[in-house]
Amino acid sequence: MPQRDSRMDPMPVYPLRFTPICQYRPWGGRRLADLLSAPLPGDDPIGEAWLLSDREDHASLVANGPLEGQTLGQLLKHWPGPMMGKQAGRFQRFPLLLKFLDAQATLSVQVHPSDRQKAYLPPGESGKTEAWVVLEAGPERIVYAGLKPGTTSAVLRQAITDRRVADQLASFRPKVGDGIFIPAGTVHSLGDLVVFEVQENSDVTFRLDDWGRADPKTGLGRPLQLEQALACIDFQRGPSGPVVPVVETAQGELRERIFLCEYFGLWRIHGASPFQIGAVGTPRVLVCIAGDGRLEHDGVPYAIGRGDVLLLPAALGVCSCSSSSTITLLELSLPEGV
């Protein structure tokens, strides 16, 4: 008997909760234990929790409801219309990768290529523009974002040779709530911070410097990709600082637009009384960064608390969110271009 094609079955439509995928990083810590509902694995430093990932090596799994155990990629393959709405068929995979980062120590000094730099992109990969929202900030907090004016490739190369790369990097001390936009081609790093990160669905990183440290698991320094990094840096781009949020709604709930670019949009919503969230005909992603509450769809409540990520399929549309006290959500949109 021929196997039934699941694409012929209607998709169960409800807010999809996903299980975080924790990643060891030598610069990480254990602070994500206070953010995630599930305990961190082992005792190693955890630098990243991948919240929503459509990648073969790290595939996010649905953690609730009748679709529990399905990967994000399987959902897009089997039900492209209900999942993606007007954007169905536009992407080979879900176009965003979402993470929490715990940079207990300072990340390597790095850069990501842009979509246009095809020679530096492995098959199937895109460029990597990303952005951060600061959730926790320690006493040694630092963000490096961009080069100081007048820094050339030759100057930067010499600074790396002399172990003085920080002398050429623009930096600032961020505060909780800051949003930082990192376009592809921007040299960057950060330390003593917990941040939420949204990025193009890419894992291409070129390191210029790793502060001379060794990975405690191997005793070896991590590899650098100096030539590729120098080739991908946009030396015409100046330093980046915190963005200024745009207040869109201040009655009932506070809704701020933090980022809106060709790759993603991100809003921060803070409120208690019932407010609408989501969109008609296109998927949205919700990440709870403070408090707890519930979403309601077709009269059914769905709990959401700090650290949770929920994907609202396009077919779900707009739903209601409320809290007995207050809740703070990040709402993310996909690229809207044609």
- 244, 282 Cβ separation under 8 angstroms: no
Per the domain annotation, does 281 fall within a domain? yes
The pLDDT, as a whole number, for residue 209 is 97
Per the domain annotation, does 198 fall within a domain? yes
H/E segment holding residue 200: strand 188-200
Give the residue-averaged pLDDT of 285-297.
Answer: 96
Do 265 and 294 fall into the same domain? yes
The pLDDT, as a whole number, for residue 38 is 87
- Domain limit, last residue, from 177, 209, 232: 232
Give the residue-averaged pLDDT of 160-168.
Answer: 96
Do 23 and 154 fall into the same domain? yes
Do 71 and 168 fall into the same domain? yes
The pLDDT, as a whole number, for residue 273 is 87
> pLDDT (tens digit, 9 = 90+) per residue, 13-71?
999 999 999 999 999 999 999 999 889 999 999 999 999 999 998 999 999 999 999 99
Do 55 and 191 fall into the same domain? yes
The pLDDT, as a whole number, for residue 37 is 87
- 288, 328 Cβ separation under 8 angstroms: yes
Do 21 and 146 fall into the same domain? yes
Give the residue-averaged pLDDT of 264-283.
Answer: 95
- 72, 155 Cβ separation under 8 angstroms: no
Do 211 and 279 fall into the same domain? no
Tell me: pLDDT of 338 over 60: no
Do 171 and 264 fall into the same domain? no
> pLDDT grade, residue 8 (50/70/90)?
low
How far is residue 201's CA from residue 129's CA, in Å, rounded to a whole number?
9
- Domain limit, last residue, from 197, 232, 267: 232
- 92, 124 Cβ separation under 8 angstroms: yes
Per the domain annotation, does 240 fall within a domain? no
The pLDDT, as a whole number, for residue 337 is 57
Do 146 and 205 fall into the same domain? yes
CATH of the domain at 261: 2.60.120.10
Per the domain annotation, does 239 fall within a domain? no
The pLDDT, as a whole number, for residue 22 is 97
Do 60 and 173 fall into the same domain? yes
- Could you give the number of structural domains in the chain? 2
> pLDDT grade, residue 251 (50/70/90)?
confident
Per the domain annotation, does 237 fall within a domain? no
Give the residue-averaged pLDDT of 143-153.
Answer: 97
Per the domain annotation, does 85 fall within a domain? yes
Do 221 and 251 fall into the same domain? no
Per the domain annotation, does 262 fall within a domain? yes
* DSSP letter string, 31-52: GGGGT-SSPPPSSS-EEEEEEE
Do 285 and 310 fall into the same domain? yes
Number of neighbouring beta carbons within 10 Å of residue 9: 10
Do 171 and 305 fall into the same domain? no
The pLDDT, as a whole number, for residue 169 is 98
Give the residue-averaged pLDDT of 149-177.
Answer: 97
> pLDDT grade, residue 1 (50/70/90)?
very low
> pLDDT (tens digit, 9 = 90+) per residue, 171-185?
999 999 999 999 999
- Containing structural domain, residue 274: 246-333
> pLDDT (tens digit, 9 = 90+) per residue, 78-127?
999 999 999 998 998 999 999 999 999 999 999 999 999 999 999 989 99
- Domain limit, last residue, from 173, 203, 232: 232
3-class state of residue 163 by DSSP:
coil
Per the domain annotation, does 104 fall within a domain? yes
Tell me: pLDDT of 280 over 80: yes
The pLDDT, as a whole number, for residue 334 is 95
In this prediction the pTM is 0.94
Tell me: pLDDT of 137 over 90: yes
